[in-house]
Amino acid sequence: MSISPFEERYKTEMNAILDDWTKIRKWMIVEVALAKAHASMGTIPKDAPAKIEGASKRVRKEQVDEIEEKIHHDLMAMVSALSDEAGESGKYVHLGATSYDIEDTATALIFIDALSLIDKHLASLDNVLKKLAIDHKSLVCIGRTHGQHAVPTTYGMKFALYHQELSRCRMRLSQAKERIAVGKMSGAVGTMATFGKDGPKIQRLVMKELGLEAAKVTNQVIQRDRHAEVLCDLALCAAMMEKVAKELRNLQRTEIAEVYESFSSKQVGSSTMPHKRNPHKSERVCSLARLARGNALTAIENIALEHERDLTNSANERAIFAESFICVDYMALELTKILSGLQFYPSNIKKNLELTNGLIMAERLMIRLTEKGMGRQEAHELVRTISQEAFENRRHLKDIVVERKLLDKNEAEALFDYSTYIGSAVKIVEEAVKD
């Protein structure tokens, strides 16, 4: 029986990167790198690292779990199991290191793998957004501000906007990946005292072996601003995806009904209302975004540890790191599926454009009147007044314009053609997705 929904319901490839056994294997990789550094310095026998590495392939999770149940220290359980398997060379395992030399360095390796997978799935989402932007660059729809009809835009503009925002999310994660790719081998309070004068060199050798940068200064841990940055950037990605999902949810409202999530022939929308076609997939994306944001706040609170460190970060990090990565990964996969199967309803899009009887063209009318010589403020006031008249009397604004001889009939017909009032929308979309 699973406790967390991320173990089953929202499980992705990410789970394999973040599970406990993967973490233990990464710990052993760091231990082997430390042994190699010692051997190159001549502090342990040259053949010891190979024996320790061979032993790491024989260690079993059940073996580590059994030891941990007795000693109540997960990392030392791994050290004990690895030492037992390495025979005579086991006495060189973990030489000079403290637990978080191993744990934090391994965490950097795990974060790198997790960030690579996230970017792979965000790239797939981005490709769908770009395709939607190009395919619908000329599909005119009503733009809405404050929940009210504003002026025409295009669906291509919506998706191009999301593409650009997602590009920034990916860039931030890429930059955070560089800053999290840092390890330490500096001991209990960061002084490297257990390694003597060779400390800086041993740390450099270990990190070179692992492909990480050596932290310039630490206390007992890698500073948590690095981890908080990653979780904050994941939260920004989640917020961006929530933004898309929220728009899709609103566009699926019965009164709007311009787009819909795909809905299979056997799918059930409600246990009591057979007609319902609820946007539950988009709602799920929005729900998970809240969790990602909450975890980011916890990560920020982990920055201010006491003195050279306390343990208040440890317990919650066992939850928030895995949850945040799996959560955002699932969201990316789910939103990609939603957008790939998105259904458009052109008749409803057109109906909504015409819903206000031409009021959405009031801005264009004001501009045209200024072109004919009327002052801008005067034109604004006039159009505001006749717009209110049209709204109150449920008349088309165009009819009032012709009636008052502000424009002749042909000119009014052309001006109230909403399909010709999208400015540079098509060009904007094409430029936005060029990258």
pLDDT in tens, 136-171: 999 999 999 999 999 999 999 999 999 999 999 999
Let me know if 314 is a catalytic residue. no
Inform me whether the pLDDT recorded for 396 exceeds 60: yes
What is the DSSP secondary-structure string of 94-114? TTT--HHHHHHHHHHHHHHHH
- pTM, two decimals, is 0.93
- Give the phi and the psi of residue 211 in degrees, each rounded to 5: 75, 25
pLDDT in tens, 289-308: 999 999 999 999 999 999 99
Residue with tokens 């793998």: 113
Residue 238 belongs to some domain of the structure = yes
Residue 130 belongs to some domain of the structure = yes
Does residue 291 sit in the same domain as residue 234?
yes
Inform me whether the pLDDT recorded for 378 exceeds 90: yes
Residue 37: what residue type?
Answer: A
Helix (H, G, I), strand (E, B) or coil at 153: strand
Residue 39 belongs to some domain of the structure = no
- Give the phi and the psi of residue 309 in degrees, each rounded to 5: 150, 155
**pLDDT computed for residue 38 by the predictor:** 97
Does residue 310 sit in the same domain as residue 398?
no
Return the structure tokens found at 420: 């010709």
Asked if residues 14 and 333 have their Cβ atoms less than 8 Å apart, the reply is no
Nearest-angstrom CA–CA distance, 113 and 339: 26
Rg of the chain over all Cα atoms, to the nearest angstrom: 30
Beta bridge partners of 183: 214
Does residue 243 sit in the same domain as residue 296?
yes
SS3 percent helix, strand, coil of the chain, rounded to 5, is 65, 5, 30
Does residue 322 sit in the same domain as residue 285?
yes
Residue 95 belongs to some domain of the structure = no
- 376: domain CATH number is 1.10.40.30
CA dist 64 to 48, 59, 270, Å?
A: 21, 8, 47
Does residue 365 sit in the same domain as residue 320?
no
Return the structure tokens found at 217: 């200064």
Mean pLDDT, residues 205-211 taken together: 98
Residue 40 belongs to some domain of the structure = no
Beta bridge partners of 213: 182
Inform me whether the pLDDT recorded for 275 exceeds 90: no
Does residue 327 sit in the same domain as residue 230?
yes
**pLDDT computed for residue 267 by the predictor:** 64
Residue 271 belongs to some domain of the structure = no
CA dist 34 to 185, 194, 242, Å?
A: 8, 13, 43
Does residue 428 sit in the same domain as residue 379?
no
**pLDDT computed for residue 331 by the predictor:** 98
Inform me whether the pLDDT recorded for 347 exceeds 90: yes
Residue 63 belongs to some domain of the structure = no
Does residue 254 sit in the same domain as residue 401?
no
Cα atoms in the 13 Å half-sphere on the side-chain side of 274: 2
Asked if residues 12 and 330 have their Cβ atoms less than 8 Å apart, the reply is yes
Asked if residues 17 and 26 have their Cβ atoms less than 8 Å apart, the reply is no
Give Cβ neighbours of residue 356 (< 8 Å, ≥ 6 apart): 149, 391
Residue 292 DSSP symbol: H
Average pLDDT, the chain: 95
User: Which one of the listed residues 72, 146, 275, 307 is annotated catalytic?
Assistant: 146
**pLDDT computed for residue 262 by the predictor:** 80
Does residue 313 sit in the same domain as residue 365?
no
Quote the number of domains for the chain: 2
Nearest-angstrom CA–CA distance, 9 and 320: 17
Inform me whether the pLDDT recorded for 426 exceeds 60: yes
Let me know if 146 is a catalytic residue. yes
- 246: domain CATH number is 1.20.200.10
Residue 294 belongs to some domain of the structure = yes
pLDDT in tens, 83-101: 999 999 999 999 999 999 9
Does residue 409 sit in the same domain as residue 428?
no
Does residue 160 sit in the same domain as residue 240?
yes
Segments forming the whole domain that contains residue 286: 109-182+220-262+276-355+424-435
Inform me whether the pLDDT recorded for 376 exceeds 80: yes
**pLDDT computed for residue 264 by the predictor:** 57
Does residue 363 sit in the same domain as residue 280?
no
